[in-house]
Structure 1
Amino acid sequence: MPPESVRPPVSAVPSHHTPRSSSVSSKLTWLDIRSLGDARAAIVQEALHHRVEAVVAGDPADLADLPPTVSKVLLLEGGKLPESFGEATVVIVDPAKQGVTPAELALRHPEIEFGRFVEIIDAPTLEDACESSRTEKWSVLLFRDPTKIPLEIVIAAAARATGSMITIAQDLEEAEILFGVLEHGSDGVMMAPKKVGDAAELKRIAEAGIPNLNLTELRVVETSHIGMGERACVDTTTHFGEDEGILVGSHSKGMILCVSETHPLPYMPTRPFRVNAGAIHSYTLGKDERTNYLSELRTGSKLTAVDIKGNTRLVTVGRVKIETRPLISIDAEAPDGRRVNLILQDDWHVRVLGPGGAVLNSTELKPGDTVLGYLPTEDRHVGYPINEFCLEK
């Protein structure tokens, strides 16, 4: 095996069993420099600055000047093996072209990790990809068809494998899709950047997971009926869990966990994709730890779903319904004295979550009851966290 200083970090070899609600995921980013022209030096420096996991070349000489902080991947395209693999720490071969398997090469060069390249164009090559993903330490896969069904099949076939699957993306948009196929996505993406900035964006996409949150128990101190106003129902493109919802609050420094309509209600069927979230001025947590007003959510917006343990995941908004309804204001207090306010539709079927996943009807909340909430430590400017003075009342 390669010396520890040039091996990928442990987090660079993720499990195929990523839980549905997880903190920031660790996906591999491989930068393909084989076709880069005059901008190669600048793009490589950008990639190193943003800590991509690997740089991929077709010539061992192109890996010579790279630092030991990045994995040096040699992807062999021709039919003949080079006399030396140079400083490569990972070598990817196509047995049909080079006439040798990764296992055979590993016996000859135990200091290097080997993997297999598979171009998927039909049923036999799809089976080759499945076999490679089950058995090889590294599998680099190129899918020629635009459909992602073959990738779904390979991911399913490799569910218990310990190796890593790197899928080639043609652009950043495809890279983002590849990371999310079958929820788990490909372990990594290899992409040839088109310009300076693409490497940084690829790394951002790979780290698009969101950190888990530390929820706080809040004590209800007051409720009041405040008359009519507009509230937003947020319909997402996913099923929420019974102990899961979204965080909503009147102020950016305090939010309460509103549960979805997953639990049975009288007079209507369950709608496990919906959260009756609150008045339209309310904040909720979106993508990149940014807050959004409920009123500005649209089809395609991203929201942070949170369960009672603080596990998070991004969900997509399918529709927002804004309607005039009677409203109720709920004030709650944190152990350190901070106040949190939430304004909800004044109706029994609108609910929030308490400790242990207790489902609490908004109209029955009373002083002394406990709800779950989140207390961000930073103020907000256009939704982004910022350290500055900001007074909210």
Structure 2
Amino acid sequence: MKLCWLDIRNGGGAREAIIEEAVHQRIDAVVAADPADLEVIPPTVKKVLFPLTDALPDKLEPADLVIVTPARHGEPADLAGRHPDVEFGRFVEITDPASLEEACRAARHEQWSVLAFRDPTKIPLEIVLAAGAGANGSVITQVADVEEAQIVFGVLEHGSDGVMLAPRAIGEATSLKAAATGRSADLVLEELEVTAISRAGMGERVCVDTCSHFRPDEGILVGSYSHGMILCCSETHPLPYMPTRPFRVNAGALHSYTLSDGGRTNYLSELGAGRRVLAVDSKGRARPVTVGRVKIETRPMLAINAVSASGVNINLIVQDDWHVRVLGPGGAVLNVTDLTAGTKLLGCLPREQRHVGYPIDEFCIEE
């Protein structure tokens, strides 16, 4: 779990509401410039003092941690010797090679490093994270909004240990905490048994090309009904007549549902560059991936009917070609044209019906 710090130093009139939301969302720390603003923070939230003035206040309590700029306030190690009951961390603004090197040293040696990057490139952050790899301290990166926080959490795959955000509106603490959660909740996959295979004539099928590299036992969940989907395999595995495309899933007919992050479904026809779908492996581990493009083309289609052990009927219509594949138990890669009645597949059975893609508990029949 990534650390979320809320900076209320310029919180204005909404400060009380922002603090209330932060506590409710279990934000890790609240950052203030005045120790008095930390008095109302409960002990479940770390109290961080980050002065805006050139001098530290005489009274640091109730701060748990004080972030200092050494040129203005002194070295964290020296301050810790004078104030043994308070932790100290270092603030570095990265503007040039010298300050970048200072940030790298902080990441290697300080318990807490708060970093601000002047330029929008994330390369300096990559350098700092690489320099501090394996160190015991935590790197907190200042971000402008939740969208930037999501990027910072993913830099060099490991990301910054946390972010510091100055919220501009109520609700941003909730969004930040959701972004920090990172990975999607794992899914429960079930074995499905094929009951029938039939040709379905011509139709438009959708290839979903993502900005990510699928793993060999990974794909996306697709189905004609929202209550049951089959795990369609990526084109990670070699084919004799064409190169592998490890970013692609030949997913199915354009009317089909696929599962997106947060439990929402989308029609394949709705997907496009910048949308998100859920990559799922044969063990049910899930992660959101970004769609780079979709390819919709007319092809002969194949209908796959299957049933779960509990009797739920599932349908998937895909391109009728042997290089289109689905996944079976244990991550077995199965060409759709080789499927027969009795073949076991992997799938997911969402419990709720859908309204514009959102799960809802209501009466609905899909056939």
Instruction: Give the TM-score range, shorter chain.
Output: over 0.9
User: Residues 68 and 74 of structure 2 are in contact (CA less than 8 Å); yes or no, is this contact kept in structure 1?
Assistant: no
CA shift for structure 1 position 109: 4.1
Deviations 1:322-368 (A, max 9, x none): 11111111112222222221111111110011122211000100112
Segment of structure 1 superposing worse, 236-245 or 159-168: 159-168
Q: SS of the residue aligned with 1:147?
A: coil
Q: Which residue matches 2:15?
A: 40
Segment of structure 1 superposing worse, 290-299 or 172-181: 172-181
Correspondence for 2:4 among 25, 29, 32: 29
Q: Which residue matches 2:94?
A: 120
Q: Which residue matches 1:16?
A: none
Q: What CA distance in whole angstroms lies between the structure 1 residues aligned with 2:261 and 2:50?
A: 35
TM-score in terms of structure 1 length: 0.89
Correspondence for 1:179 among 141, 153, 162: 153
1:51 aligns with 2:26: yes
User: Residues 210 and 289 of structure 1 are in contact (CA less than 8 Å); yes or no, is this contact kept in structure 2?
Assistant: no
Correspondence for 1:318 among 292, 296, 303: 292
Correspondence for 2:73 among 98, 117, 135: 98
- How many residues are paired up? 367
Deviations 1:164-213 (A, max 9, x none): 21111123332232222223222211111223333333233333531111
Q: SS of the residue aligned with 1:43?
A: helix
Deviations 1:250-290 (A, max 9, x none): 11111111111111112111111111000111111112211
User: Residues 165 and 186 of structure 1 are in contact (CA less than 8 Å); yes or no, is this contact kept in structure 2?
Assistant: yes
1:333 aligns with 2:307: yes
Q: What CA distance in whole angstroms lies between the structure 2 residues aligned with 1:133 and 1:344?
A: 50
Q: What CA distance in whole angstroms lies between the structure 2 residues aligned with 1:133 and 1:250?
A: 50
Q: What CA distance in whole angstroms lies between the structure 1 residues aligned with 2:359 and 2:133?
A: 38
Ranges in structure 1 where 5+ consecutive residues have no aligned partner: 1-25
1:370 aligns with 2:344: yes
Q: Which residue matches 2:259?
A: 285
1:196 aligns with 2:196: no
1:266 aligns with 2:220: no
Give the structure with the higher percent strand: 2
Q: What CA distance in whole angstroms lies between the structure 2 residues aligned with 1:258 and 1:111?
A: 56
Q: Which residue matches 2:136?
A: 162
Q: What CA distance in whole angstroms lies between the structure 2 residues aligned with 1:262 and 1:73?
A: 47
- Name the amino acid aligned to 2:59: S
Matches within 5 A, 1:207-222: 207=181, 209-222=183-196
- Name the amino acid aligned to 2:218: E
- Name the amino acid aligned to 2:105: E
Q: What CA distance in whole angstroms lies between the structure 2 residues aligned with 1:361 and 1:51?
A: 47
Correspondence for 2:229 among 240, 247, 255: 255
Q: Which residue matches 1:13?
A: none
User: Residues 230 and 323 of structure 1 are in contact (CA less than 8 Å); yes or no, is this contact kept in structure 2?
Assistant: yes
Q: Which residue matches 2:37?
A: 62
CA shift for structure 1 position 225: 1.1
Correspondence for 2:51 among 63, 71, 76: 76
Q: What CA distance in whole angstroms lies between the structure 2 residues aligned with 1:110 and 1:352?
A: 60
Q: What CA distance in whole angstroms lies between the structure 2 residues aligned with 1:35 and 1:56?
A: 10
Q: What CA distance in whole angstroms lies between the structure 2 residues aligned with 1:161 and 1:309?
A: 32
Q: Which residue matches 1:12?
A: none
CA shift for structure 1 position 315: 0.8
Segment of structure 1 superposing worse, 293-302 or 37-46: 37-46
Q: What CA distance in whole angstroms lies between the structure 2 residues aligned with 1:161 and 1:114?
A: 17
Q: SS of the residue aligned with 2:246?
A: coil
CA shift for structure 1 position 110: 4.4
TM-score in terms of structure 2 length: 0.95
Identity among equivalent positions (%) equals: 64
Q: SS of the residue aligned with 1:179?
A: helix
Q: SS of the residue aligned with 1:117?
A: strand
Q: What CA distance in whole angstroms lies between the structure 1 residues aligned with 2:262 and 2:54?
A: 45
Correspondence for 1:238 among 194, 198, 212: 212
Q: Which residue matches 2:199?
A: 225
Segment of structure 1 superposing worse, 40-49 or 312-321: 40-49
Ranges in structure 2 where 5+ consecutive residues have no aligned partner: none
Matches within 5 A, 1:123-138: 123-138=97-112
Q: Which residue matches 1:14?
A: none
- Name the amino acid aligned to 2:219: G
Correspondence for 1:360 among 334, 345, 348: 334
